Chains A and B, each alone.
Chain A
């Protein structure tokens, strides 16, 4: 059974750096073809893909946010970490992590964590 869960601060101040952790079970990020991605959703708005890391440590970033994002993995801990620098109120959103395998889309998602950016 695949599960993912996001964790991190619920409130950050403008200009601060956000660090989110995705802790997962039921699969290994050392298995060929497996990836974990981050997606966010501002309140009442659409989903936006942010970043993805694969079993071979290949990393992909949204072109519009690439300069602010870093994604890493700790295979031994079954965790993926996303950092986003220079947070702004427009970055207020629910942040999800999700599992992806091979040529399939995101099939298993975490419950999401709401991050509010406010002074």
Chain B
């Protein structure tokens, strides 16, 4: 099984901050990585696929990078609507999610 490890688990930030979340895979997954945003009581929303491709309709302040085993999600300027939990997911071999990163208001 491929394990996904996210860091940090919680992140405190202010509006306008640049935020980076890291995801590490237990083995190479090439670029088969997605990022989701989830708000309380809601289903996850796809933000990024293929490690760096922005899903249609997602603001350009979200970006993804990486390949192999190391990946990052960056929010260039945090907005009030961005306070949420974020999950990475590999889809190279079956589907595995990271444990999540909660972005809180500082």
Q: Which residues of A are in contact with B by a Cβ distance under 8 Å?
A: 37, 39, 46-49, 52, 60, 62-64, 96, 98, 103-107, 109-112
Contacts and interface: CB of A to CB of B under 8 A. Distances in A.
Given A46-B87, A47-B44, A111-B43, A105 B96 contact: no
A105 B43 contact: no
Summarize B's interface: helix, strand, loop or mixed: loop
A48 B97 contact: yes
A60 B34 CA distance: 19
Interface residues of B, number: 21
A109 B97 contact: no
Contacts, number: 51
Interface in B26-51: 32, 34, 36, 42-46, 49
Interface string B65-106: 000000000000000000000010101001111111000000
A60 B1 CA distance: 14
Contact of B55 (A39, A46, A107, A110): A107
Given A37-B95, A46-B87, A109 B100 contact: no
Contacts of B99: 46
12 contacts: A39-B95, A46-B87, A47-B97, A48-B97, A49-B97, A52-B95, A63-B1, A63-B94, A96-B43, A105-B89, A107-B55, A109-B45
Contacts of B96: 49
A60 to B, nearest CB: 6
A109 B95 contact: no
Contact of B44 (A52, A60, A109): A109
Nearest to A107: B46
Contact of A104 (B45, B49, B97): B49
